[in-house]
Amino acid sequence: MPVKRTLTLLMILACGMALQAQSNPALQRAYRFGEGWSLNDSGGATMRVSGYLQPYAESKRLMSETAGDPDVRFRMRRVRLRIDGNSADEKFSYRFQTDLSGTGELLDGSSNYLLDAWVAYEPVRRIKISFGQRAPYTDNRELFMNSNTLQLVERSRLTSAFATIREFGIFTEATSRLGNQAYLRSYLTLTNGDGPNVFNRDRGGLKYGARIDFLPFGLFSSQGQFNQVDIIRERTPKLVIGATYSYAEGVSSRSGRESGAILYLNALNRELLPDYAKFGIDFLFKYRGFSALGEYMQGNAFVPGSITQRVRTDGSVSGDFIVNGEQNVSDYIKARMIVGSAWNLQMGYLMKNGISVDGRYTQLTPATHSFLNNGTFYNRPYYYTLGLSKYVGRHYGAKIQADLTLVQNRGGINNNQGLPVSGNELIGRIQSTFTF
């Protein structure tokens, strides 16, 4: 409840600032459909208030004789409010973003309201240092694209398996020009390694990450590198190719997305956790309404040999690490983590009438011992998606999207009750977006 009251006050504050702008002649204001309200004072400082709503419906059906009725749900997928601003000299900037739906990307079942909260300083042109909570640069490319600009209704299964989504720490980015057209963008991150803001104590050590992006044909128009669909319709081909790597010392979850979910101890009853590393390569191409996104991500776990105990969910301790009838600490721990690889390829074409036809293929390849083999949540290696969208305006102001995903069953999968099922799975989704 305190969180909800705080967010309500923030919304009231944002509305109050907009009303003040209307009554203060020193402030210039402007509204652009899909881009929110922009406020500018006479000294040159700016602030922008924006957000979007996404009502969502989903139906899942197992294609077998004993599948029963489909699982259907309706919800408000996202209700986001965002405030951006910068100083008159543009050396300082900030962002606050919240999701009032409370259905954010936490795994422990709790509500996640806080998404972005960071401040940044640009000491010299094209070098920026930010501190706070934000989407990291060391995840796959799709992750740090805005949710209201997605090509299909939901992000790929690669993203949901490997991305940490939000992290708290220090983030640096630099842009260099190479010759007449080409650019190089580099990113370095130092974070707590526990995902978003931790309200209890941090577990393990720090997380170190880096990304390098090469843009051979120049920068994308209107920040198109960070949006999926080519809604601007790039007049010349635009391409970015990137590689990323991160290493987290001591993670207490499946991939470092949350803190304290899975704990281990050594013989002295001191906390000891496995390390986790991710490597990825990706690209994004856009030209005259056509866009293509390709991603590959690989996750590896490194288990200390001195782990002797595991902490159960009820707080008790056990020394059993049984795998295939034998005691094997390393394989047992890896079987609880996201270990393996995945790749995702999607592309689509946005016609001039605002209709977009899109397709995606995603493949998960688990390691021998990996949570990706879990029959209830994963163990579904192939995903085929076809989508159709209608856009209104050039700035993602409004759209309606529908897609259909075929999930191939190779055997060994369970339903939500943990019971084995046969047949492929068919998922239909529909979502509308209104950006204000």
Q: Which long-range contacts (CB under 8 A, 24 or more apart) does 182-186 make?
A: 182/214, 182/215, 182/216, 182/217, 182/218, 183/214, 183/215, 183/218, 183/219, 184/212, 184/213, 184/214, 184/215, 185/212, 185/213, 185/214, 185/215, 185/240, 186/210, 186/211, 186/212, 186/213
Per residue in 221-265, pLDDT (tens digit) is 988 999 999 999 999 999 999 999 999 999 999 999 888 899 999
Average pLDDT over residues 125-150: 93
The dotted CATH code for 49-80+95-111+138-435 is: 2.40.160.10
Q: Residue 13's pLDDT is what? A: 52
**Tokens 């899909």 — which residue?**
34
| Average pLDDT value over all residues in the chain | 89
Q: Which of 38-42, 130-134, 209-213, 244-248 shows the lowest mean pLDDT across its residues?
A: 38-42
- Per the CB < 8 A criterion, the answer to whether 389 and 401 are in contact is yes
Q: Residue 86's pLDDT is what? A: 94
**Tokens 């790039």 — which residue?**
234
Tell me the range of 32-46, 267-281, 384-398 where mean pLDDT is highest: 267-281
Query: For 275, what's the count of Cα atoms within 13 Å in the CB-facing half-sphere?
Result: 13
Q: In the chain, pLDDT over 70 holds for what percent of residues?
A: 90
Q: Residue 107's pLDDT is what? A: 43
- Whether the per-residue pLDDT at 161 is higher than 60: the answer is yes
